[in-house]
Chain A
Amino acid sequence: MLKRLSVALVAGALAFGVAACGGEEAGGGSTGGGGDDKITMGFAQVGAESGWRTANTKSIQESAASAGIELKFSDAQQKQENQIKAIRSYIAQKVDVIAFSPVVETGWDTVLKEAKDANIPVILTDRAVDSQDTSLYKTFIGSDFVLEGKKAGEWLVKEYEGKTEPVNIVQLEGTTGSAPANDRKSGFTDVIKADPKFKIIASQTGEFTRAKGKEVMEALIKANPDIDVLYAHNDDMGLGAIEAIEAAGKKPGTDIKIITVDAVKDGMTALAAGKINFIVECSPLLGPQLMDLAKKVVKGEQVEQRVLTEETTFTPEQAKAALPERKY
């Protein structure tokens, strides 16, 4: 009798316990998935390959904190497989919204489909994906890299206006296959190809890093003794190349004109010092805009498929003026 009673009691306690747990779980689920109070965002960052990227990371982390959004952050170290893994884990964790900067443009369809099937909206930041199916993501916020390349090309055309001698250009590309590398290249080429005097005599990847930028420029400057212009897809590669140019006994900014993209602090310092001639800005501070979009998307509001970040360009004089307030 007593035994039976105790069994019944234990069973009852167990049942109650399970029910309690279940209740708790349901409650947790509703706060996590419902989005009435706290939104959870999974963000898969490219890496920390440049000063630009770290400023971008900081902006996202800070604006998430101030917008009251819980941020799960991962660093893919410039590898697509890491990013796919991170996105899969966000899907498994049932976050409310996933945002990421794709390392490369292609190969995202499967994992984005998984997110779509799990009803988790996806926001692309700063880099696009090359997919036929635009329903796989809600919106894409970021710079227009083609436009950046065009701005760089337009400055060059203006700089050499009225001159007829050929202009030998060397290009340091970003990570092979990445959207900024592809677009900055095509935008630039589109503008300068109208005039046959502009010749891209060499174009190699510097992987967006300073060390590679230096190594590649060291080789290119020897293979091509008469370089007039260097166009680097980001500041860091340009800064590395400046060291190579100086080591070759030439004056960066004078003997070889330098155009870069990004406008991070180190780049702006070099621009103010006349070692770089022109920088096209690519602002990393898209955190606040991203958080606004995330809130709207989670609520189910309609958002634009393409949102641009505000950007400008800098000459040495403008750099001197802007430098004291440059945060990144």
Chain B
Amino acid sequence: MTQPTVSERSAPPDQTPEKRGMMRTVLRHRLFWPAAVLVLLLVGNVFFTPSFFSIRLQDGHLYGSLIDILRASTPLILVGLGMTLVIATGGIDLSVGSVMAIAGAVACLRISDLPDPNSVGGVLAAVGFALLLALVLGLWNGLLVAVGGIQPIIATLILMVAGRGLAQLITDGQIINVRSDPYRVIGAGYVLTVPVSVIIAGLFVAAAALLVRRSALGLLLESVGGSPAASRLAGIQARTLILTVYVFAALCAGIAGLIFSSNVSSADGNNTGNLIELDAILAVVIGGTALTGGRFSIAGTVLGAVIINTLNITVYTVGIPSNVTLLFKAVVVVVLCLLQSPSFRAWASGVKRLLPTPSRAGGAA
């Protein structure tokens, strides 16, 4: 869905009326400003790391800062994907970080108990079990919200708190180390030079996008989020839909947890996915999905997740001191949110119009 934005923006600015009209649509596209901030961040990095855009083959896999950003983004992209659909129905899922921690912990625990941690079958069984558990946790959330009628923020808060404790219980408060090559593949492996985690996240995003946009599912989700009463009167099975999105969100979080723990070959019940729910909500919001439910954008969320991780990497490469890191991130996010706010833009262009310089044409370009 970002495709039209990217291709249109890269077109040279021409002065024919037709082109100008296109420019205007690009500017008005809701993903224009996030994309612009991302490009700005990436280009800004080149001043500090001249080889920032270079990608080369290293030991038979792609290697470069851009690959790092993509790889580091995968857990957040997956968690954000689930969060987008949940938010589309007017809900929210705070428990994703805890589900990540549980999935990673369970998988690592089972693998460390295997007689041979390098057996592919054993690893697959462990991964399958962890994902099954994630589904059950999602079902729990979904039942509380859809059947129990508990407010989503409260219903998922339960698992957010309890789940973190459960993860610590599973790991016994320790970091579980696993030395398993098949498990390592998930988060740190490569297939045909491409990181496996990026392939997994890509497949999930593509499948979800196809499912919601090529069928009526997306429309139904938006209607449930937009107006629960109207969709009920229209005969939409809101309960099943809501249940499904929470299960899906937990599944995404489970996979994100596996990628995260496999990347460092260890499970850390305490830190895995800590506060990722907030980053995921931020990614969703940056992507232009309203927290009130209704219209949503999967591409926007992916873009948001990539921006957040680019911001992290920028902090490292530029060498921003640790104690101002959070402030730096906050400033970027505030600027981004203001740029996306129509009322702020209207106010800004109003101020511009008052200025005597002929800046209107400049403002449009």
Contact = CB atoms under 8 A, between A and B. Distances in A.
Interface string B271-313: 1101000000000000000000000000000000000000011
B271 A219 contact: no
Given A209-B268, A222-B49, A214 B174 contact: no
A70 interface: no
A215 B187 CA distance: 13
Contacts of A50: 175
A176 B58 contact: no
A154 interface: no
Nearest to A207: B271
B270 A211 contact: no
Contacts of B49: 222-223
A210 B68 contact: no
Interface string B249-268: 00000000000100111101
Nearest to B323: A176
Given A48-B174, A220-B316, A223-B317, A214 B64 contact: no
A243 B188 contact: yes
A236 interface: yes
Classify chain A: how many residues form its interface, as a range: 35 or more
A326 B317 CA distance: 37
Main secondary structure of the interface of B (DSSP, over half): mixed
B86 interface: no
Contacts of B175: 48, 50-51, 54, 210, 236
A190 interface: no
Given A204-B322, A219-B65, A54 B174 contact: yes
B271 A223 contact: no
Contacts of A222: 49, 51-52, 64-65, 68, 317
Given A220-B316, A222-B51, A247 B266 contact: no
A260 to B, nearest CB: 15
A323 interface: no
Contacts of B242: none
Interface in B160-190: 164, 168, 173-175, 177, 188
Contacts of B317: 219-220, 222-223
Given A203-B319, A218-B72, 13 more contacts: A202-B316, A202-B319, A204-B322, A211-B268, A211-B271, A215-B68, A215-B72, A215-B316, A223-B319, A236-B175, A243-B264, A243-B265, A266-B177
Interface of B: 48-49, 51-52, 58-59, 63-65, 68, 72, 164, 168, 173-175, 177, 188, 260, 263-266, 268-272, 274, 312-313, 315-317, 319, 322-323, 325
Interface of A: 47-51, 54, 57, 75, 77-78, 173, 176-177, 202-205, 207, 209-211, 214-216, 218-220, 222-223, 225, 236, 239-240, 243, 247-249, 266
